[in-house]
Amino acid sequence: MGRVAAVSIVSTDTDYLHRIQAGHFALDTDEPKALGGQGAAPAPFDLYLSSLAACTAITLRMYAQRKDWNLGEFRAELSLTRDEEGKLHIHRVLRSDQPLSDEQWNRLLEIVANTPVTKAMREGAEISSERGAFIAL
């Protein structure tokens, strides 16, 4: 089984601000003030949607380049809602400042339905947890 990604997270002395290390990139996460956080960084569901937005934009850019299509400035706007039964729903709106044909848009919508992160979110992942010894840094 090959590793796809690895991250670590460390608490701070501020509720609920945490520091994430993803490879050699550092970023923060927090909760909004309404949930007891400081609102100092994206909340976990913001990061969840951000990963899908990033995969959407990168995958479509790669595909368009292979087809020699000019996407120009590309935008993807995503929203996450929860229905009455508690099920999550994600909606994406894709935009380009270039005059793409209906055929091109239809193909892009087919491609976006199968990006790696789209598939992972749709199919789910097996999640396991274990206790580890604390190692002071």
Q: pLDDT tens for residues 36-58?
A: 999 999 999 999 999 999 999 99
SS3 call for 80: strand
End-to-end CA distance of the chain, in Å? 29
> Percent of the chain at pLDDT above 70?
100
Q: Which residues contact 106 (CB under 8 A, 6 or more apart)?
A: none
Q: What confidence score (pLDDT) does residue 81 get?
A: 97
pLDDT confidence bin for 77, thresholds 50/70/90: very high
* Strands laid side by side in the 18-22 sheet: 7-11, 18-22, 25-29
For residues 92 and 50, give the distance between their C-alpha atoms in angstroms, rounded to a whole number. Answer: 12
pLDDT confidence bin for 135, thresholds 50/70/90: confident
